[in-house]
Each structure stands twice: as C-alpha cells, then as structure tokens.
C-alpha cells in the first residue's frame, strides 16, 4: 500500500492526526498546546463571561475567526519559565487487531512472515508561542520484519491549532513511510506527500446534546476541514499524481467524564482520486484524559470504510482493520 494521508481532527481541543490506517495506529490524540494553570484559569473565566452576556452567536464566531493565527510576541518577552517549558508528549503501545503479512520473495524465498505488528512510539511536541506548535513521533516495531514500506520510522506535524470553538487551524502533517536509513536512491522523507489542512472548529448546541444524552456533562465538538496533498499515489496508474483533495466533517461526542466516541465523514471532489484505502468514514472510541501524567486507551479505525451504497474495498474497512492504543502523556 502506498503513502496516503487524510485528516482526522478528533475534537476542537485536539490537534489533527493524519494518515492511512497504519499511520493512525501510532498517533495519539494531540492536545492543545500546554499552558500553566494560571493561564488556563484566566481563559476559562473569559469564556464563561462571553457565554453569559448578551454576546450573539455571530459575534462569538467572528471573535473566534478573527483571533485565529495570533502570534503573541509579548509572550516571548514576558516568558520567565525554564527553557524546556512548552515541551509535551506521550509514550504509547499500539496494537493492530489484524495480522500483517510479508509475502515471500519468489526469487530467494526470503520473507513469508506474518503476525501482529505491535509497535512502541514516543511523541514530543513543542509549543514555542501561542497556539503554534511542532510535533515529531518516533516509532519502534517490536517485530521489525513485519514493518511495511508505508509504516514510518518517524512522522512530523507543524502549524497552528487553537482548542477554542469557532477558531481556524492550519497544519502540515506527514505520516508517509519516512525512514532514518532509506534504501539507496530513496529519500528519508517526501515533503510533497504530506498534507496541508485548513480547518474550522465549532460546538454543537447544548440543547441538542441534552436531548440525546443520559448524562449532564455530555458535550460535543465538530470541525470542518479542507485537505490538500500535493503528490499522491494512484493505484490505477501505479504513478504519483498531483493535487489530492478531500473535505472532512468530524465530531467528538464526550459521553461522560473522559469517555468518548468520535467519527468523521469524507467527501472527495474528484472521485477519480479516491483510492481503496481512502475512507468514506472513520470512527473511534475510548477513554481520553488531556491532563499530563495520565493514561489514554483508544480504539481507532481509519481503514477504507465504505458507506453501504458504495462498493467495498477488499481487505479493508472491517472492525479488525482498526487498532488499540494505550498511551501515557507528559508535559513540562
């Protein structure tokens, strides 16, 4: 399977996670940039005030959009913490439910192995200023012989993402088959095969949530994204083509506490660009705690899921094509 990137934004306070099914397996749900508790308390107070005054919905939307991509240079001058403040990350165990198979080479009969391709990952994220960030994830496969060509040694993401509703985000993500030691003639990474994503976050009215939920603390946030990949692999022609596009609507429904369900639906403006591994929809569920020093347990399925009226893609789009992830987060 070639390199494929598509966008999934789990909730309005998460950073997006992009990639084909194998790339999603190792990607923990990214949080908004870490901040000290005093800043969080101040922001929460401002948000509460804006919701309890006569501010109209249109004004809230405009405030969110107009404050996007802010570069608070004053934070650099006033910063009095240690140099490592702003770093965060996670360690994760990723467990695919489906076995990986490496076919034997007919010329020398080398290969022919199969098994669960478990891997460990370490993610480090740096938030230098405001909501601007960069993230790198390193992966180690417990059975190295099962690592597929599209499964990366490392991935990277950078851009702007604000956890607040009604804000815009702009990110670049590369979950391709990046290698520390590429084969002769190959590159460590192909920047043009990463994806640029422009998104907008918005909440769902609490009245709708209360009507459908049995818990008082239920909540729901959604996002709308436009994704553009400059160079993508086309299975029909077995060539790399230019300009893969998709539009995605994703939502995360918090059932109660830290238990949640998320899903996303995708639309491809040019249906000829849609590959067997490009999903009509994705889904996941589990327990997610944004606070550092806590554990997260998730099931995610980003395989080539199809709506009933669309033809199935062989070998993908099944529950067993998803994966489990157990992660522990940290932050300075």
Model pLDDT for residues 39-87, shown as the tens digit of each residue: 333 333 334 334 545 678 889 999 999 999 999 888 777 777 787 888 9
Residue 64: per-residue pLDDT:
92
- Both tokens of 141, joined, read 């496969």
**Strand residues in 104-238 grouped as ranges (E):** 113-115, 119-129, 132-141, 154-160, 168-174, 195-203, 219-234
**Residue 102 pLDDT > 80:** no
Structural element, H or E, at residue 209: helix 206-212
Contact partners, residue 113, CB within 8 Å, separation at least 6 = 101, 102, 143, 145, 146
Separation of first and last alpha carbons in the chain: 38
Residue 103: per-residue pLDDT:
58
Angstrom distances, CA of residue 166 to CA of 31, 203, 228, 298: 17, 8, 21, 26
Residue 90: per-residue pLDDT:
96
For residue 246, the cross-strand partners are 227
Which whole number is the average pLDDT over 307-316?
89
Contact partners, residue 128, CB within 8 Å, separation at least 6 = 86, 134
**Strand residues in 235-315 grouped as ranges (E):** 239-256, 259-267, 281-287, 295-301
Model pLDDT for residues 248-283, shown as the tens digit of each residue: 999 999 999 999 999 999 999 999 999 999 999 999
What are the DSSP calls for 53-76, one per residue?
SS--HHHHHHHHHHTTT---THHH
Model pLDDT for residues 185-226, shown as the tens digit of each residue: 899 999 999 999 999 999 998 888 888 788 888 999 999 999
Length of the chain measured in residues: 332
């Amino acid at each position: 399977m070639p390199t494929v990137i598509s966008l999934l934004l789990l909730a309005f306070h998460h950073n997006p996670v992009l990639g084909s099914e194998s790339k999603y397996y190792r990607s923990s749900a990214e949080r908004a940039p870490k901040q000290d508790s005093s800043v969080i308390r101040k922001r929460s107070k401002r948000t509460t005030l804006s919701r309890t005054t006569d501010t109209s919905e249109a004004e809230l939307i405009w405030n969110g959009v107009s404050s996007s991509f802010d570069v608070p240079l004053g934070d650099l001058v006033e910063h009095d913490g240690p140099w490592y403040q702003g770093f965060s990350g996670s360690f994760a165990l990723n467990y695919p439910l489906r076995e990986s198979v490496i076919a034997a080479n007919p010329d020398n009969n080398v290969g022919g192995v199969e098994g669960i391709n478990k891997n460990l990952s370490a993610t480090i994220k740096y938030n230098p200023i405001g909501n601007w960030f960069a993230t790198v994830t390193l992966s180690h496969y417990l059975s190295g012989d099962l690592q597929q060509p599209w499964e990366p040694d490392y991935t990277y993401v950078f851009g702007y993402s604000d956890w607040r509703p009604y804000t815009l985000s702009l990110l670049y993500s590369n979950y391709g088959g990046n290698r520390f030691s590429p084969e002769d003639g190959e590159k460590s990474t192909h920047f043009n095969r990463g994806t640029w994503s422009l998104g907008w976050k918005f909440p769902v009215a609490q009245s709708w949530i209360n009507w459908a939920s049995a818990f008082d603390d239920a909540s729901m946030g959604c996002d709308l994204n436009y994704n553009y990949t400059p160079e993508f692999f086309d299975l029909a022609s077995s060539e790399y083509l230019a300009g893969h596009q998709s539009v995605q609507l994703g939502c995360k429904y918090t059932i109660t506490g830290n238990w949640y369900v998320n899903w996303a639906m995708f639309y491809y403006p040019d249906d000829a660009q849609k590959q067997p591994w490009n999903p009509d929809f994705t889904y996941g569920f589990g327990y997610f705690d944004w606070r550092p020093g806590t554990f997260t347990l998730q099931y995610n399925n980003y395989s080539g899921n199809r709506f009933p009226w669309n033809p199935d893609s062989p070998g993908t789009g099944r529950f067993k094509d998803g994966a489990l992830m157990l992660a522990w987060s940290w932050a300075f």
